[in-house]
Protein backbone atom coordinates (compact mmCIF):
# COMPACT_ATOMS: atom_id res chain seq x y z
CA UNK A 1 0.00 0.00 0.00
CA UNK A 2 1.37 3.41 -0.97
CA UNK A 3 2.03 5.74 1.91
CA UNK A 4 3.80 8.99 2.58
CA UNK A 5 6.75 9.23 4.94
CA UNK A 6 9.35 11.77 5.93
CA UNK A 7 13.02 10.92 6.46
CA UNK A 8 15.26 13.28 8.42
CA UNK A 9 19.03 13.49 8.49
CA UNK A 10 21.39 15.81 10.27
CA UNK A 11 24.94 14.69 9.75
CA UNK A 12 28.38 15.29 11.15
CA UNK A 13 28.75 18.60 9.29
CA UNK A 14 26.23 20.04 11.78
CA UNK A 15 25.06 22.41 9.06
CA UNK A 16 21.38 21.76 9.69
CA UNK A 17 18.42 19.50 9.08
CA UNK A 18 17.56 17.79 5.78
CA UNK A 19 14.03 16.40 5.50
CA UNK A 20 12.60 14.48 2.55
CA UNK A 21 8.97 13.65 1.85
CA UNK A 22 8.65 10.41 -0.12
CA UNK A 23 5.94 8.09 -1.33
CA UNK A 24 6.73 4.50 -0.44
CA UNK A 25 5.34 1.12 -1.27
CA UNK A 26 6.50 -2.43 -0.47
CA UNK A 27 9.68 -3.40 1.33
CA UNK A 28 13.27 -4.55 0.70
CA UNK A 29 13.86 -5.26 -3.01
CA UNK A 30 10.18 -4.64 -3.76
CA UNK A 31 10.39 -1.12 -2.38
CA UNK A 32 9.06 1.51 -4.74
CA UNK A 33 10.00 5.04 -3.75
CA UNK A 34 9.22 8.42 -5.24
CA UNK A 35 10.78 11.62 -3.95
CA UNK A 36 8.11 14.32 -3.58
CA UNK A 37 9.66 17.26 -1.75
CA UNK A 38 12.54 18.23 0.46
CA UNK A 39 13.55 20.96 2.82
CA UNK A 40 16.89 21.94 4.40
CA UNK A 41 16.83 24.21 7.43
CA UNK A 42 20.07 25.45 8.96
CA UNK A 43 20.40 24.98 12.71
CA UNK A 44 20.01 28.20 14.68
CA UNK A 45 23.34 29.67 15.80
CA UNK A 46 22.34 28.93 19.40
CA UNK A 47 21.72 25.25 18.66
CA UNK A 48 25.00 24.88 16.74
CA UNK A 49 26.86 26.35 19.72
CA UNK A 50 25.11 23.96 22.09
CA UNK A 51 25.75 20.94 19.83
CA UNK A 52 29.43 21.80 19.67
CA UNK A 53 29.50 22.15 23.45
CA UNK A 54 27.81 18.76 23.74
CA UNK A 55 30.52 16.98 21.73
CA UNK A 56 33.53 18.76 23.16
CA UNK A 57 35.02 16.91 26.15
CA UNK A 58 35.73 20.05 28.16
CA UNK A 59 32.37 21.79 27.64
CA UNK A 60 29.89 18.91 27.62
CA UNK A 61 27.62 18.50 30.64
CA UNK A 62 24.86 16.00 31.36
CA UNK A 63 22.39 18.89 31.81
CA UNK A 64 23.22 20.30 28.38
CA UNK A 65 22.97 16.90 26.64
CA UNK A 66 19.62 16.31 28.36
CA UNK A 67 18.25 19.67 27.23
CA UNK A 68 19.57 19.44 23.65
CA UNK A 69 17.96 16.00 23.31
CA UNK A 70 14.59 17.80 23.59
CA UNK A 71 15.55 21.04 21.81
CA UNK A 72 16.67 19.10 18.75
CA UNK A 73 13.45 17.09 18.68
CA UNK A 74 11.54 20.38 18.54
CA UNK A 75 13.83 21.69 15.78
CA UNK A 76 13.27 18.51 13.72
CA UNK A 77 9.52 18.84 14.30
CA UNK A 78 9.62 22.45 13.07
CA UNK A 79 11.29 21.35 9.85
CA UNK A 80 8.63 18.65 9.35
CA UNK A 81 5.86 21.17 9.95
CA UNK A 82 7.38 23.60 7.46
CA UNK A 83 7.84 20.86 4.88
CA UNK A 84 4.20 19.82 5.27
CA UNK A 85 3.09 23.44 4.91
CA UNK A 86 5.24 23.80 1.76
CA UNK A 87 3.29 21.01 0.06
CA UNK A 88 -0.10 21.64 1.65
CA UNK A 89 -0.28 18.40 3.63
CA UNK A 90 -1.04 17.75 7.30
CA UNK A 91 0.36 15.28 9.81
CA UNK A 92 -2.64 13.01 9.15
CA UNK A 93 -1.31 12.41 5.63
CA UNK A 94 2.01 11.03 6.89
CA UNK A 95 2.41 7.38 7.93
CA UNK A 96 5.66 7.88 9.82
CA UNK A 97 8.71 10.05 10.34
CA UNK A 98 12.13 8.38 10.42
CA UNK A 99 14.79 10.51 12.08
CA UNK A 100 18.47 9.68 12.36
CA UNK A 101 19.11 12.28 15.09
CA UNK A 102 22.36 14.11 15.75
CA UNK A 103 25.31 11.94 16.66
CA UNK A 104 26.94 13.29 19.79
CA UNK A 105 29.33 10.45 20.38
CA UNK A 106 30.17 7.10 18.87
CA UNK A 107 32.48 4.49 20.42
CA UNK A 108 33.43 1.73 17.97
CA UNK A 109 35.68 -0.33 20.21
CA UNK A 110 35.67 -0.78 23.97
CA UNK A 111 38.49 1.16 25.59
CA UNK A 112 39.47 2.07 29.13
CA UNK A 113 36.19 1.88 31.01
CA UNK A 114 33.99 2.73 27.98
CA UNK A 115 31.91 0.20 26.05
CA UNK A 116 30.92 0.18 22.37
CA UNK A 117 28.00 2.58 22.06
CA UNK A 118 26.47 5.46 20.14
CA UNK A 119 24.32 8.44 21.09
CA UNK A 120 21.99 10.32 18.75
CA UNK A 121 20.09 13.26 20.21
CA UNK A 122 16.58 14.34 19.19
CA UNK A 123 14.00 12.38 21.17
CA UNK A 124 11.54 10.35 19.09
CA UNK A 125 8.73 10.42 21.66
CA UNK A 126 8.81 14.20 21.79
CA UNK A 127 8.67 14.37 17.99
CA UNK A 128 5.80 11.88 17.76
CA UNK A 129 3.74 13.76 20.36
CA UNK A 130 4.47 17.24 19.04
CA UNK A 131 3.81 16.24 15.42
CA UNK A 132 1.10 13.64 15.89
CA UNK A 133 3.06 11.30 13.58
CA UNK A 134 4.62 7.95 14.64
CA UNK A 135 8.37 8.50 14.72
CA UNK A 136 11.20 6.02 14.31
CA UNK A 137 14.53 7.04 15.88
CA UNK A 138 17.66 5.57 17.46
CA UNK A 139 18.56 3.43 14.46
CA UNK A 140 22.07 2.41 15.44
CA UNK A 141 21.85 0.69 18.79
CA UNK A 142 20.21 -2.63 17.86
CA UNK A 143 23.06 -3.29 15.44
CA UNK A 144 25.65 -2.41 18.08
CA UNK A 145 23.93 -4.76 20.53
CA UNK A 146 24.65 -7.57 18.03
CA UNK A 147 28.34 -6.77 17.85
CA UNK A 148 28.12 -4.33 14.92
CA UNK A 149 29.52 -0.82 14.76
CA UNK A 150 26.02 0.62 14.15
CA UNK A 151 27.40 2.28 11.03
CA UNK A 152 27.10 2.63 8.15
CA UNK A 153 23.33 2.08 7.90
CA UNK A 154 22.58 3.81 4.59
CA UNK A 155 23.98 0.88 2.51
CA UNK A 156 20.70 -1.00 3.00
CA UNK A 157 18.84 1.83 1.29
CA UNK A 158 21.56 2.06 -1.37
CA UNK A 159 21.01 -1.60 -2.15
CA UNK A 160 17.23 -1.25 -2.22
CA UNK A 161 17.27 1.85 -4.43
CA UNK A 162 20.32 1.45 -6.67
CA UNK A 163 21.30 -2.22 -7.07
CA UNK A 164 21.71 -2.94 -10.78
CA UNK A 165 21.75 -6.14 -12.85
CA UNK A 166 24.60 -5.36 -15.21
CA UNK A 167 26.51 -2.45 -13.65
CA UNK A 168 28.66 -2.50 -10.54
CA UNK A 169 27.76 0.74 -8.85
CA UNK A 170 29.35 2.63 -6.01
CA UNK A 171 27.21 5.05 -4.03
CA UNK A 172 29.45 7.72 -2.59
CA UNK A 173 28.10 10.16 -0.04
CA UNK A 174 30.33 13.13 0.69
CA UNK A 175 29.08 14.65 3.92
CA UNK A 176 31.25 15.64 6.86
CA UNK A 177 32.52 12.08 6.54
CA UNK A 178 32.85 10.33 3.17
CA UNK A 179 31.40 6.87 2.79
CA UNK A 180 31.02 4.43 -0.05
CA UNK A 181 28.67 1.54 -0.72
CA UNK A 182 29.84 -0.96 -3.33
CA UNK A 183 26.98 -2.77 -5.07
CA UNK A 184 28.35 -5.56 -7.29
CA UNK A 185 26.26 -6.21 -10.43
CA UNK A 186 23.59 -8.85 -9.72
CA UNK A 187 24.83 -8.99 -6.11
CA UNK A 188 22.74 -9.77 -3.04
CA UNK A 189 22.63 -7.83 0.24
CA UNK A 190 25.42 -10.12 1.48
CA UNK A 191 27.69 -8.91 -1.32
CA UNK A 192 27.42 -5.25 -0.32
CA UNK A 193 30.66 -3.69 0.88
CA UNK A 194 30.39 -0.35 2.65
CA UNK A 195 32.64 1.74 4.80
CA UNK A 196 33.81 5.26 5.59
CA UNK A 197 36.77 6.35 3.48
CA UNK A 198 37.65 9.13 5.97
CA UNK A 199 36.86 12.83 6.13
CA UNK A 200 34.68 14.32 3.40
CA UNK A 201 34.00 18.00 4.04
CA UNK A 202 34.68 17.96 7.76
CA UNK A 203 38.31 19.02 7.85
CA UNK A 204 37.83 21.48 4.96
CA UNK A 205 34.88 23.09 6.78
CA UNK A 206 36.77 23.34 10.08
CA UNK A 207 39.83 24.83 8.38
CA UNK A 208 37.63 27.33 6.47
CA UNK A 209 36.13 28.47 9.80
CA UNK A 210 39.53 28.79 11.48
CA UNK A 211 41.37 30.43 8.57
CA UNK A 212 38.66 32.41 6.78
CA UNK A 213 35.73 32.67 9.21
CA UNK A 214 33.52 30.99 6.58
CA UNK A 215 31.34 27.91 6.96
CA UNK A 216 32.69 26.04 3.93
CA UNK A 217 34.68 26.39 0.71
CA UNK A 218 31.93 27.27 -1.76
CA UNK A 219 32.36 25.18 -4.94
CA UNK A 220 35.94 24.48 -3.77
CA UNK A 221 37.12 27.84 -5.11
CA UNK A 222 39.65 28.46 -2.31
CA UNK A 223 41.13 24.98 -2.80
CA UNK A 224 41.33 25.59 -6.54
CA UNK A 225 43.42 28.74 -5.90
CA UNK A 226 45.97 26.99 -3.67
CA UNK A 227 48.89 24.61 -4.13
CA UNK A 228 48.95 21.10 -2.67
CA UNK A 229 51.77 20.79 -0.12
CA UNK A 230 53.23 17.31 0.02
CA UNK A 231 54.41 17.28 3.65
CA UNK A 232 50.94 18.17 4.93
CA UNK A 233 49.33 15.77 2.46
CA UNK A 234 51.56 12.88 3.56
CA UNK A 235 50.99 13.75 7.19
CA UNK A 236 47.20 13.52 6.81
CA UNK A 237 47.27 10.39 4.67
CA UNK A 238 49.52 8.81 7.30
CA UNK A 239 46.60 8.81 9.75
CA UNK A 240 46.16 5.20 10.93
CA UNK A 241 42.46 5.18 9.91
CA UNK A 242 43.38 5.01 6.21
CA UNK A 243 45.39 1.81 6.69
CA UNK A 244 42.55 -0.05 8.43
CA UNK A 245 40.71 -2.73 6.49
CA UNK A 246 36.94 -2.35 6.06
CA UNK A 247 34.45 -2.57 7.62
CA UNK A 248 35.44 0.66 9.32
CA UNK A 249 33.78 3.90 10.29
CA UNK A 250 34.98 7.23 11.61
CA UNK A 251 33.73 10.59 12.78
CA UNK A 252 34.51 13.74 14.68
CA UNK A 253 36.36 11.74 17.34
CA UNK A 254 39.21 11.21 14.82
CA UNK A 255 38.94 13.97 12.19
CA UNK A 256 37.16 16.67 14.19
CA UNK A 257 38.12 20.19 15.17
CA UNK A 258 40.90 19.17 17.58
CA UNK A 259 42.73 17.23 14.86
CA UNK A 260 42.38 20.04 12.30
CA UNK A 261 43.41 22.72 14.83
CA UNK A 262 46.58 20.77 15.64
CA UNK A 263 47.39 20.35 11.94
CA UNK A 264 46.96 24.05 11.22
CA UNK A 265 49.20 24.97 14.17
CA UNK A 266 51.85 22.53 13.04
CA UNK A 267 51.77 23.75 9.43
CA UNK A 268 51.18 27.44 10.17
CA UNK A 269 54.00 28.46 7.79
CA UNK A 270 51.81 27.45 4.81
CA UNK A 271 49.54 29.88 2.94
CA UNK A 272 45.88 29.58 3.94
CA UNK A 273 44.71 28.58 0.47
CA UNK A 274 47.43 25.94 0.28
CA UNK A 275 46.11 24.37 3.48
CA UNK A 276 42.57 24.23 2.03
CA UNK A 277 43.91 22.87 -1.29
CA UNK A 278 45.85 20.18 0.56
CA UNK A 279 42.95 19.15 2.82
CA UNK A 280 40.77 18.87 -0.28
CA UNK A 281 43.42 16.82 -2.07
CA UNK A 282 43.75 14.54 0.98
CA UNK A 283 40.00 13.94 0.92
CA UNK A 284 40.02 13.21 -2.84
CA UNK A 285 43.07 10.98 -2.63
CA UNK A 286 41.78 8.93 0.30
CA UNK A 287 38.49 8.44 -1.59
CA UNK A 288 40.30 7.37 -4.78
CA UNK A 289 42.60 5.01 -2.83
CA UNK A 290 39.60 3.32 -1.21
CA UNK A 291 37.88 2.92 -4.58
CA UNK A 292 40.99 1.55 -6.28
CA UNK A 293 41.58 -0.95 -3.49
CA UNK A 294 38.05 -2.19 -2.90
CA UNK A 295 36.08 -1.35 -6.05
CA UNK A 296 38.53 -1.72 -8.95
CA UNK A 297 35.83 -2.95 -11.36
CA UNK A 298 33.27 -0.24 -10.78
CA UNK A 299 31.14 0.89 -13.74
CA UNK A 300 29.54 3.95 -12.20
CA UNK A 301 30.28 6.17 -9.21
CA UNK A 302 27.13 7.93 -8.01
CA UNK A 303 27.88 10.83 -5.67
CA UNK A 304 25.62 12.58 -3.18
CA UNK A 305 25.82 14.79 -0.09
CA UNK A 306 26.80 18.45 0.16
CA UNK A 307 30.34 17.59 -0.97
CA UNK A 308 28.99 16.61 -4.40
CA UNK A 309 28.63 20.39 -4.91
CA UNK A 310 32.33 20.95 -4.20
CA UNK A 311 33.32 21.07 -7.87
CA UNK A 312 37.03 21.14 -7.12
CA UNK A 313 36.85 18.11 -4.81
CA UNK A 314 34.90 16.06 -7.36
CA UNK A 315 37.24 17.12 -10.17
CA UNK A 316 40.26 16.02 -8.11
CA UNK A 317 38.60 12.67 -7.56
CA UNK A 318 37.90 12.38 -11.30
CA UNK A 319 41.53 13.37 -12.06
CA UNK A 320 42.75 10.47 -9.94
CA UNK A 321 40.30 8.08 -11.65
CA UNK A 322 40.02 9.41 -15.23
CA UNK A 323 38.21 6.36 -16.64
CA UNK A 324 35.46 6.36 -14.04
CA UNK A 325 31.95 7.54 -14.94
CA UNK A 326 30.81 9.90 -12.17
CA UNK A 327 27.13 10.80 -11.90
CA UNK A 328 25.08 12.20 -9.05
CA UNK A 329 22.02 10.63 -7.44
CA UNK A 330 20.03 13.46 -9.10
CA UNK A 331 20.64 11.63 -12.38
CA UNK A 332 18.71 8.73 -10.80
CA UNK A 333 15.78 10.70 -9.40
CA UNK A 334 17.21 11.11 -5.88
CA UNK A 335 18.35 14.68 -5.10
CA UNK A 336 21.94 14.57 -3.85
CA UNK A 337 21.29 16.76 -0.81
CA UNK A 338 18.34 14.62 0.34
CA UNK A 339 19.77 11.20 -0.36
CA UNK A 340 20.63 10.41 3.27
CA UNK A 341 17.27 11.70 4.52
CA UNK A 342 15.55 9.52 1.90
CA UNK A 343 17.66 6.57 3.05
CA UNK A 344 16.31 6.92 6.58
CA UNK A 345 12.76 6.88 5.22
CA UNK A 346 13.67 3.53 3.59
CA UNK A 347 15.08 2.20 6.88
CA UNK A 348 12.05 3.45 8.82
CA UNK A 349 9.78 1.74 6.27
CA UNK A 350 11.35 -1.60 7.22
CA UNK A 351 11.15 -0.88 10.94
CA UNK A 352 7.45 0.00 10.67
CA UNK A 353 6.93 -3.40 9.01
CA UNK A 354 8.98 -5.17 11.69
CA UNK A 355 11.71 -6.04 9.19
CA UNK A 356 15.50 -5.85 9.59
CA UNK A 357 17.52 -3.23 7.72
CA UNK A 358 21.13 -3.43 8.84
CA UNK A 359 23.77 -4.87 6.50
CA UNK A 360 25.79 -7.21 8.73
CA UNK A 361 28.65 -7.33 6.21
CA UNK A 362 28.97 -3.55 6.49
CA UNK A 363 28.56 -3.11 10.24
CA UNK A 364 30.07 -6.36 11.48
CA UNK A 365 26.86 -7.33 13.35
CA UNK A 366 26.31 -11.04 13.92
CA UNK A 367 22.89 -10.98 12.25
CA UNK A 368 20.17 -8.91 10.57
CA UNK A 369 18.12 -7.00 13.11
CA UNK A 370 15.13 -4.65 13.16
CA UNK A 371 16.56 -1.15 13.67
CA UNK A 372 15.25 1.70 15.77
CA UNK A 373 12.53 2.50 18.22
CA UNK A 374 8.99 3.46 17.22
CA UNK A 375 7.24 6.18 19.23
CA UNK A 376 3.49 6.03 18.60
CA UNK A 377 1.17 8.97 18.96
CA UNK A 378 -1.57 7.32 21.02
N1 LIG B 1 28.35 24.54 -3.11
C2 LIG B 1 29.13 23.86 -2.25
N3 LIG B 1 30.47 23.88 -2.41
C4 LIG B 1 31.29 23.21 -1.56
N5 LIG B 1 30.85 22.50 -0.51
C6 LIG B 1 29.53 22.45 -0.29
C7 LIG B 1 28.59 23.12 -1.14
N8 LIG B 1 27.35 22.86 -0.67
C9 LIG B 1 27.50 22.08 0.44
N10 LIG B 1 28.81 21.83 0.67
C11 LIG B 1 29.41 21.05 1.75
O12 LIG B 1 28.48 20.10 2.19
C13 LIG B 1 28.43 20.10 3.61
C14 LIG B 1 27.08 19.60 4.07
O15 LIG B 1 26.89 18.33 3.51
P16 LIG B 1 25.88 17.28 4.13
O17 LIG B 1 25.63 16.29 3.05
O18 LIG B 1 24.72 18.01 4.73
O19 LIG B 1 26.79 16.65 5.25
P20 LIG B 1 26.38 16.02 6.66
O21 LIG B 1 25.56 14.82 6.33
O22 LIG B 1 27.68 15.71 7.29
O23 LIG B 1 25.60 17.09 7.38
C24 LIG B 1 28.74 21.53 3.99
O25 LIG B 1 29.24 21.59 5.30
C26 LIG B 1 29.79 21.90 2.95
O27 LIG B 1 31.05 21.48 3.36
MG1 LIG C 1 24.03 18.16 6.72
Q: Write the CATH number for 47.
A: 3.30.420.40
Instruction: For ligand 1, atom 15, name the residue with the nearest CA.
Output: 306
Contact call for residues 373 and 100 (beta carbons, < 8 A): no
DSSP 243-307: GSPSS----HHHHSHHHHHHHHHHTTTS-HHHHHHHHHHHHHHHHHHHHHHH-TT-SEEEEESGG
Do residue 236 and residue 352 come from a single domain? no
Give the chain's domain count.
2
CA 43 to ligand 2 centroid distance, Å: 10
Q: What is the pLDDT of residues 255-301, one digit of tens each?
A: 999 999 999 999 999 999 999 999 999 999 999 999 999 998 899 99
**Which ligand 1 atom is the nearest neighbour of the CA of 215?**
25
Do residue 309 and residue 360 come from a single domain? no
Do residue 198 and residue 71 come from a single domain? no
Do residue 46 and residue 76 come from a single domain? yes
Do residue 117 and residue 186 come from a single domain? no
Q: Given ligand 1 and candidates 52, 120, 307, 328, which is best to mutate, with the most ligand atoms within 8 Å of its CB?
A: 307
Closest CA to 265 of 216, 202, 200, 207: 207
Q: Is residue 251 predicted with pLDDT exceeding 90?
A: no
Q: Is residue 108 predicted with pLDDT exceeding 90?
A: no
Do residue 210 and residue 178 come from a single domain? yes
Q: Which residues form the domain of 328? A: 154-332
Do residue 147 and residue 274 come from a single domain? no
Q: At what angle do helices 272-294 and 311-320 cross, to 10 degrees?
A: 50
Full-model pTM? 0.94
310 lines ligand 1 (CB under 6 A): yes
Do residue 279 and residue 353 come from a single domain? no
pLDDT attached to residue 365: 95
Q: Is residue 200 predicted with pLDDT exceeding 90?
A: yes
Q: What is the pLDDT of residues 130-184, one digit of tens each?
A: 999 999 999 999 999 999 999 999 999 999 999 999 999 999 999 999 999 999 9
Q: How many helices (H) and strands (E) does the chain have?
A: 14, 13
Do residue 177 and residue 52 come from a single domain? no
Amino acid sequence: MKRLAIGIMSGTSMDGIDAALVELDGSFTNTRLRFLAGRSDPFSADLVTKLKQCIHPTTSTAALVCSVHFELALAYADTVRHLLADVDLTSNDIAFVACHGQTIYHINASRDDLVRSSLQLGDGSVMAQVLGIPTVSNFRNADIAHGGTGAPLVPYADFVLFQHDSNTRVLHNIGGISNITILPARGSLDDVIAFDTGPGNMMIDDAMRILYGREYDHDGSVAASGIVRDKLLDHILGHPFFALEPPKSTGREQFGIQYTEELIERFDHLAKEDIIATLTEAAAQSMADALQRYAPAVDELIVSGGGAANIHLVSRLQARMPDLTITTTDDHGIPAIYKEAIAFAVLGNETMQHKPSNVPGATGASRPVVLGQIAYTK
